[in-house]
Chain A
């Protein structure tokens, strides 16, 4: 495809320039008028805006609950929480169609919930139960639901990127209009697989969206300490001729808008796009990390003030999309869903030991 055509997405102005992080002293309230947005207004009605809020809340409560059950020893191994990044995952996944594929890394519960996978079965996987999505064999880092085209949950940093390219290759091969979206972190951009896959996707013009959740840290490493050019990804992909879209990952509507435009383009043109959403995990890298050794308290606080769980409902109220009563009802229904999921997980049977020998070969 022509270069000019490829950069259409960026050029049409659909990608709203947003504040890329808390560089302002007082975090913005993200005043954002959906009705004036050509991409969103056509496809996003009030019900959808509320659905996104409910999912956001569902992820937050799910993650908090996982934390509690980790402390109780019900969930073990590595547990990477998505708290703080909810707006990114929801904004990215909401505009995908059911036929589109998602591939992600170990910080995957948020993506799984945003995709609408069964909350009970995700929770059961956390608990290692037979009813879990991966039958208790995968755990927190390996959530799969192939029927929903949710292709994992991958715990080796960068390993999911070639997988996504291959899924996209299959779409090209089979001549579908299916889009593959692959999530990864800032840290993963330092893996060879990242660069190799971008080149491959570009040379072969694969219909894949590289979705980077730049939460500014890879474990304890600030992106500026381990990456040339630090957090500036604007033309990191120039070498691969892949369009880069940067978006404020704390603003769910901005993410949704940028992603929708990218999906439209990839679906139509079949060539890769790279989205960078700047976001922040409010908690440690995993449950083993208190998350306070390598970042200043003030930095965490600054981002916490942009908590999408506070900003987004405020926006919805301001625009008259909803009422406080409706939000309260949603909150209660989320609590009930989480409670039911925990109950489901606790009451689910352990797998038989013999099941450990199933699923090794097809």
Chain B
């Protein structure tokens, strides 16, 4: 085991892929000479050269689209967006092209491509730079979406994402880059679409992904002091969702609350709550509650932003309501 940061885990996954598969290359804005906006690819260009590490112009539509093209022609591009907010500039290429190519060609074409992007609010970047579009992208068929919460999962999921023959959105919450965790030295993978039981408990099931899992832990600690024993499921992927794991947990506890750090309205949990409600109907002791960010654009002001973001207290309150039902 090595104790490394989330950033180091991703760096390691990328280096491995570059070193073991000559068809893998990385491209994005300022990933080369500058070392990446979040320093994930620091030193790569010196080490691997400009063929494998491509600095792009600020042309998201073109380079994401070029990634789709390169993938369809046999390469395995890893494309970095400086922020998932900038995916909007490339949305057509991601949704209409990357995700649809295989289907509309009747299965002739495959697009083995990873789109990595920092996501999430909380550092006062304002309305255009704080969004969490993994929740939008997770809905699109033909594409997967991974969103790890810790270094081990980041590495394991990244390995699967790079090996996948399908486009994968790899959403990295910006709060997590500096966070640490144990990562095995020996090779392992984490399949896309496999959730993780983060904490066992009998009283209710808490579900989230990415940075949300850390908020759930804080909430579960607070509840434990009140004698409430919460189980935490870390989805790890928003597409596909590991419903069997979530449903099994809800069947055991009979209650659930789910957390989006993205906007609650139309968030990923809106869909997941609905599905789990149907699948676990006979086991539920009450309705499932969603917690998420409030339904406004992201403000710059710190207090406002914090208020709009969900916190552990809101999760605890939701859990109490579920239990009291």
Contact = CB atoms under 8 A, between A and B. Distances in A.
Contacts of B128: 141-142, 154-156, 159
Interface of B: 29-30, 33-35, 37, 55-62, 85-86, 88-89, 123-129, 294, 296-297, 299-304, 307-308
The 8 closest A-B pairs by CB, nearest first: A220-B34, A139-B300, A190-B57, A77-B124, A128-B301, A226-B57, A136-B301, A356-B304
A221 B29 contact: yes
Contacts of B56: 226
A137 B304 CA distance: 8
B296 A357 contact: yes
A77 B58 contact: no
A155 B126 CA distance: 9
Contact of B299 (A129, A136, A155, A192): A136
A300 to B, nearest CB: 16
A360 interface: yes
Contact of B129 (A136, A155, A158, A192): A155
B307 A353 contact: yes
Contacts of B129: 78, 141, 155
A357 B304 CA distance: 10
Contact of A157 (B37, B58, B301): B58
A294 B294 contact: no
Nearest to A192: B61
Size category, A interface? 35 or more
A294 B128 CA distance: 27
Contact of B300 (A137, A187, A191): A137
A134 B297 CA distance: 14
Nearest to B300: A139
B59 A191 contact: yes
A156 B33 contact: no
B296 A356 contact: yes
Contacts of B297: 360
A220 B30 contact: yes
Interface string A322-362: 00000000000000000000000000001101011100100
Nearest to B60: A191
A61 interface: no
A221 B34 contact: yes
Chain B binding site: helix, strand, loop or mixed by DSSP? loop
26 contacts: A76-B124, A128-B124, A128-B301, A137-B126, A137-B299, A138-B127, A139-B124, A142-B126, A142-B127, A142-B128, A142-B300, A155-B125, A156-B89, A157-B58, A191-B58, A191-B60, A192-B59, A192-B62, A218-B57, A218-B58, A221-B30, A221-B33, A353-B303, A356-B301, A356-B307, A360-B296
A24 interface: no
A293 interface: yes
Nearest to B297: A360
A87 B56 CA distance: 30
Interface string A178-222: 000000000110111000000000000000000000000011110
B57 A138 contact: no
Contacts of A99: none
A225 interface: yes
Identify which of A142, A220, A227 gathers the most chain B CB atoms within 10 Å of its CB: A220
A227 B58 CA distance: 10
Nearest to B85: A156
A227 B62 CA distance: 13
A356 B61 CA distance: 32
A129 B304 CA distance: 11
A356 B298 CA distance: 9
A128 B302 contact: yes
B57 A356 contact: no
B300 A138 contact: yes
Contacts of A139: 124-126, 300-301
A356 B130 CA distance: 15
B58 A187 contact: yes
Given A293-B35, A353-B304, 13 more contacts: A76-B302, A77-B300, A128-B302, A138-B300, A156-B128, A190-B57, A219-B29, A221-B29, A221-B30, A227-B57, A356-B304, A356-B308, A360-B296
